[in-house]
Amino acid sequence: MPDRSNPSSKKRKGGAKYGKQASRIAIESGDAIEGTENKEEENEDTDDEDIEAQIRRELEGLQPSKDKTRQFQPVQMDMPCVTFMRLDPSIDPVQLVHRLCSEAHAHSETKKSRWIKRMHPVTSIRKTLSVDLTAFAKEILKPHFHSGGPPKTYAIRPTVRGNSKLNRDIIIKTVADAVGPEHPVNLKNYDLMILVDVAQNVIGMSVVQGDYDKLKRFNLAEIYDPSPKSEPAGTATESKA
């Protein structure tokens, strides 16, 4: 994948159905971000055949042409339950994913996702074999930490899959050094969260807002259907006979 592409990686369930659903949801939210409205009435029937037909129609409208490049392109990798969605450079993956999860949080009764679980926005990517991690981190962090303004609290959340060169400790130390001492670490009440995703020979990075945990770490499945919280030991009560 080109270094300058803006992929938004997303976990998937349901095999090939994921790519279709991810494209549909991204298309809908992408149109909303750009201020356009889809005036066609959509059939909200949950029947699988109707959903598939609707997705096909939407995808047909995004077929590449001489005048318009495709905005959302699924990129398959040899990783179970993980795929990547490459976005047109005009679309901000962080804004897109934040909007999707914010809307899901505000209207959790209207479930739009069946196969997608967690989404990870990625501002930019590099190859792990050739990356200068410090320079890469400074590039991603500059608009958020080194462009003026007061100090910001932050946390770093790395995810590493299928890579032996980079580990959590290396990533955290390098990224923290790139942020600089003027910005304090706060693992719970942070202003900004730095996400670092390593998948095989690719590393991606992004900076998201302080509501990352409120939005269930961009886990749509948890937003729509939160896991029940286990009761602390000793709090259970028995009813009287």
Q: Residue range 132-136: average pLDDT? A: 98
What lies within 8 Å, CB to CB, of 152 at 6+ separation is 144, 145, 183, 191, 192
pTM of the model: 0.71
Would strands 119-121 and 202-209 be described as parallel, antiparallel, or unpaired? Answer: unpaired
Domain architecture of the chain: domains with CATH: 6-224 (3.30.2300.10)
> Quick one: what percent of the chain has pLDDT higher than 70?
66
Q: Which of 102, 114, 68 is nearest to 210 (CA)?
A: 102
What are 139-148's pLDDT values in tens digits?
999 999 999 9
Structure tokens at 209: 């807002």
Laid out side by side, the sheet with 192-199 consists of 124-127, 202-209, 192-199, 154-161
What are 39-65's pLDDT values in tens digits?
444 444 444 445 455 545 544 554 555
Question: In the beta sheet, which residues pair with residue 202?
Answer: 127, 199
Q: Which of 169, 166, 152 is nearest to 208 (CA)?
A: 152
Q: Residue range 171-196: average pLDDT? A: 98
> Quick one: what percent of the chain has pLDDT higher than 90?
47
Would strands 154-161 and 192-199 be described as parallel, antiparallel, or unpaired? Answer: parallel
| Model pLDDT, residue 124 | 96
